[in-house]
Amino acid sequence: MMRRRVIGFTAFLSLALAAALVVLPARWLTVLVPEKWPVALVDAQGTVWNGTAALALGPSHNRRRLPDTLQWRWSFKNGPRLELSHPWLNGPVLLALTQGGLALSSRTLTLPASALATVDARLAAVGPEGYLTLRWPALQLKHVPPAEGTRLLEAEWRDAASALTPIRPLGHYNMTLTAKGQGNELVLTTRQGPLMLEGKGTVDPRQGLDFTGTARADPNAGDRVSTALQDVLAALGPRQNNVTMLRLR
């Protein structure tokens, strides 16, 4: 008799737990995103299995909410798979659990350059304009770091402009994130434009961003352009020998 009661109680508890998991509110996901990450979920609606939330970019003390919502949906038909959709993506991002680890699909994300203002107060002061394009390849996310030299992300800033100068465009910039040793190497280069930006740094999941670079006016652009860029250069950082020093941490 006692054994039947124990079995019955266990079955009831299992059913109750399963029912609770099905309707687990989406807001529980907001606490899973580490506070130090440059992105956060806000105003989550639905459940952890099928829901929506707004994205907020930037450090925890200076986040800006994006106007469009992120949607997610879990599927278990051919193994656990998470599908993420957002208007700025060129298609759904798929995360699938495989024998080799967590598989991430390749995608392109296009967003306004004003999102750069969430990275640092100096960038916010510049009032960045134009468009950012972020591309990443299909990746196999494992418990070990990716092979050295693996390209993790490529970002472009096109039609770059600033609220501090009438010079348009300021340039076309490229940034790459590549696996290197135990960390990830960040490299910024200028493809063209009167405002020359360059630098290197690292991105560590635990330590965050550590970037050092320089900004200067192209000496071939002429005195008029150089003068018009002075407010931008002054907002980006201190000057040394007519070169603005960039430091983001």
Domain parsing of the chain, residue ranges: 25-97, 106-249
pLDDT of residue 38: 66
CB contact at 8 A, 104 and 95: yes
Highest mean pLDDT range out of 30-34, 47-51, 124-128, 207-211? 124-128
Residue 246: pLDDT band by 50, 70, 90 thresholds? very high
- Exposure string of 155-164, with b = 16+ CB inside 10 Å and e = fewer, is bbbbebbbeb
Residue 30: pLDDT band by 50, 70, 90 thresholds? low
pLDDT of residue 31: 63
Residue 11: pLDDT band by 50, 70, 90 thresholds? very low
Tokens standing for 177? 């994130």
pTM of the entire structure? 0.78
pLDDT of residue 102: 81
Tokens standing for 49? 């299995």
CB contact at 8 A, 136 and 119: no
CA distance 18 to 24: 10
Tokens standing for 236? 């980006």
Residue 26: pLDDT band by 50, 70, 90 thresholds? low
pLDDT of residue 28: 60
pLDDT of residue 122: 87
CA distance 209 to 37: 10
Kindly list the distances between the CA atom of residue 210 and the CA atoms of 153, 154, 188, in Å, as whole numbers in the listed order: 17, 17, 13
Between 61 and 242, the more confident residue is 242
pLDDT of residue 116: 86
pLDDT value at 5 more than 80: no
Sign of CA pseudo-dihedral 235, 237, 238, 244: negative
pLDDT value at 24 more than 70: no
Average pLDDT of the residues in 148-154: 86
CA 191: distance to chain centroid? 22
CB contact at 8 A, 212 and 201: yes
Angle in degrees, CA 63, 81, 176, rounded to 5:
50
